[in-house]
A and B are shown apart, each in its own frame.
Chain A
């Protein structure tokens, strides 16, 4: 049993959103509803401002609040540390979305975020999925028990850490290094595509894994750690850097409290 986790080096991340696009293609995401997103935000006040960014996949928490609140067991944490959704069990109550401190969950049956509405441009003729994107994965790879595939109607979805790729990795693999041709197809799409190599994926339960070394040597930290969810995604911020301590990136918007 592994405990898969991710390390994102913010000193290397260029904010190019290639991970967002790769994830969207790999997981047939509706444009605008990004399982993996890069959140841009500004800090400071003019003239001392900085534009910053933070890639935000699902944190696959050790103590996932989404799992604790789910009334049906549709959201669950498996033995390899993935937090997943069984689309055949989900009743679409959205309690998990409300209880996720990181805002990583999506309900597709909403007003379209972009025009034209891609669900109407590419409708699913069978009525099974919420739409039929022209670049979707082969049907035999779809796995609703693990929330993999084109999202069906009226269920919640989120990043699976590319469960369909990682779960087929050779047993005993500690680091999923995309530069190793044998492991590339088993590595999450966002990690494979990251041009600056800012993402690392490996087994957090193995003390010799690359991810554990990075966390230890470069002082990896987690988002909103005070909430106790204990994310399995760590950020390397470099000296003097930090992950945002608040959820709202726009503290000065709308003339509200800053």
Chain B
């Protein structure tokens, strides 16, 4: 895309208007996601007005938190993971990762906004939350801290992106915001894990390992999201990429990070199911139903084991298409993981009588699927907006100089 990025608000508005008529990958993503967003959001709002939350398949008898919560968790953790990946450059000084740092921060912002939007549509009274959470000050509640920490995370992400937009990569303030953002996101994703991990009465979730798993699987989600979007942004044309980005995209550093994270997540999943199947603790029966679920096997074998070996194979790990497919599979796997983790953790009913199934059957309703589309289309639309308005491949001058070229545009 050979154009100048807008620097003023009128130019930005003009840019957004142009997106509706332009014919490039970014514009196509924008147009398609906008249509998706309007249709899915329209449908969800119509169902909420006419049927209310009865249009969800959740029930007081078993699965209280359904697909919508899992979708929120998927987006929130993808956002956290993207911040982790950006931090490789901005906090830990791995300069090779600078070419994707700004893209990661923008994607983290839009993923979190998508997640919050889905959550707001799931909650009974989202607007009441604005006053009742801060005035309630329920410091014992993991959900209270999750809200506080993700709000801090979002503010710091905006601050970091603003500094990057101002090309302030190395000032003391920029470093401080980067480090504070990293700490906030560690705490936020860990606290999101603790929302589940704190509950002793839910043995499938209980224990600090859940919180650590949330952080590590977030990093995997983030790595997958950035690989997918980098390839989409340049239409799989390696030569169109700035040299530094090209070096990262065709090198083995990112695939190695990626493979390591897949390996860690696989270890967590396998040890978790081992404990679940081995133990007789009341409430762990959900693991048996998990083993019988085709989704779990798709997640494990297709979406994690296959990409793991792809990213360990030297010829495939440097191939952009192989990276793209591995990352896409991992992202699908992580989406399934959030769903099966949250659903199977609840579907052993509590004191509901002989008539209640031992494992409550649950599958998302059309409205709940539409909410997934709301989240995805919101994220892609905002991503395209960022791609059009900001140079997401921008990087510090010293990195550019090292590589001897200037970034695109």
A interface list, Cβ under 8 A from B: 33, 37, 39-42, 54, 56, 65, 68-74, 89-95, 97-107, 109-112, 153-155, 223-224, 227-228, 244-254, 256-257
Contact = CB atoms under 8 A, between A and B. Distances in A.
B129 interface: yes
Nearest to B145: A71
B128 A89 contact: yes
Query: Looking at B129, B350, B351, B357, which has the most chain A CB atoms within 10 Å of its CB?
Result: B351
Given A73-B137, A250-B356, A257-B285, A92 B125 contact: yes
Nearest to A73: B136
Contact of B349 (A90, A99, A107, A247): A247
B288 to A, nearest CB: 6
B358 interface: yes
30 contacts: A39-B351, A39-B352, A40-B354, A54-B351, A68-B140, A69-B140, A69-B199, A70-B138, A71-B133, A71-B143, A71-B147, A72-B133, A91-B123, A99-B201, A103-B350, A107-B60, A107-B124, A109-B53, A109-B124, A154-B53, A154-B123, A154-B125, A155-B124, A247-B350, A248-B283, A248-B358, A249-B353, A252-B358, A254-B359, A256-B358
Nearest to B59: A110
B349 A248 contact: yes
B79 to A, nearest CB: 20
B20 interface: no
A-B pairs, 6 with minimum CB distance: A92-B124, A154-B124, A103-B350, A73-B136, A101-B201, A72-B132
A91 B351 contact: no
Contacts of B61: 103
Contacts of A54: 351
A33 B60 contact: yes
A248 B143 contact: no
Contact of A248 (B53, B128, B282): B282
Nearest to B52: A109
Contact of A69 (B59, B142, B350, B358): B142
Contact of A93 (B143, B283, B350): B143
Query: Looking at A33, A94, A97, A251, which has the most chain B CB atoms within 10 Å of its CB?
Result: A94
Given A69-B143, A244-B351, A247-B282, 10 more contacts: A68-B140, A72-B128, A89-B136, A90-B128, A101-B350, A102-B350, A103-B60, A110-B54, A248-B358, A250-B358
